[in-house]
Amino acid sequence: MPASTTACPTSCRSCARTVNEDWIGRWENGRTGWHEAGGNAGLRNYWPSDIAGNRVLVPLCGKSADLLWLARRGHEVVGVELAKKAVLEFFTEHDLEYRSESGTNLDCYTAIDLPLRIFCGDYFKFDDGPFDALYDRGALVALPGHSRPKYVEHTKKLLRPRAVRLIVTLEYDQAVVQGPPFSVLPPEIRGYWDDLARVTEADDLETCPPKFRAAGLSEIQEVVWLAGPDPAVT
């Protein structure tokens, strides 16, 4: 069964603290089986080439190589990541020079030679909008069901009207194994954005976190959703 999407009360700070501590702990202990060192094929295959505007938001970006891919296409890329270890590893592993600035809520790490910044801190305190596009490969699926509505509400506030959105989700049987990353089924994601088109899906069993296969999961689909310039539905 999918995780419940019932939102916790906004005063439930202990829930947010638990999620944040778990996320940082996973990076500190190397439990990041969802990380794709070479980047995501769905992004490369379906990212629109005619975005009106340039600013791209990448929430919970980790140390994703997709940040580089987007920046090298000329976009102004802004990632947001809670774990400082992930941010520093991103710049180190890609041999990028950067400068850092301390902020009231989030610290900012800016690449010297690319239009790329990563803000380090709580995504729900990030307010540097508006953005012309959203790329979400690891944010929505990283959050438990009770946190996802709050995430979507905050993200919508950061986007321009009719912003391009490319969102990558997973679909699998959570009775066999629980996330993160979590399964997010079509009724839920269409409840957040009813204009998203399901453009493709692919078997993700070989590249999913090892704990899924160890638990006996036999099927998992990676799904690409797109709202933008005339997405071609498959």
* pLDDT for 160: 95
**What is this structure's pTM?**
0.88
> What are 80's two structure tokens?
């947001």
**Number of domains, the chain:** 1
- Whether residue 234 lies inside any domain: the answer is no
Between CA 197 and CA 34 the distance in angstroms is: 24
Report residue 135: phi and psi, to 5°: -120, 115
Domain for residue 191, yes or no? yes
Instruction: Classify residue 106: in a domain, yes or no.
Output: yes
The verdict on residue 173 lying in a domain is yes
Residue 13: its pLDDT value, please? 57
CB atoms within 10 A of CB 201: 15
Residue 81 lies in a domain: yes
Residue 153: give the domain boundaries.
13-227
Query: How many whole angstroms separate alpha carbon 229 and alpha carbon 52?
Result: 9
Q: Is residue 198 assigned to a domain?
A: yes
- Residue 68 forms part of a structural domain: yes
User: What is the mean pLDDT for each group of 10 consecutive residues in the chain (234 residues)?
Assistant: 41 58 67 69 93 90 95 96 95 97 96 98 96 96 95 98 96 94 96 97 90 94 88 47
Burial of 135-146, coded b for 16+ CB within 10 Å and e otherwise, reads: bbbbbbbbbbbb
Q: How far is CA 49 from the centre of its chain?
A: 20
Q: What is the pLDDT of residue 233?
A: 46
In a domain, residue 8? The reply is no
Query: In CATH, what number is assigned to the domain containing residue 25?
Result: 3.40.50.150
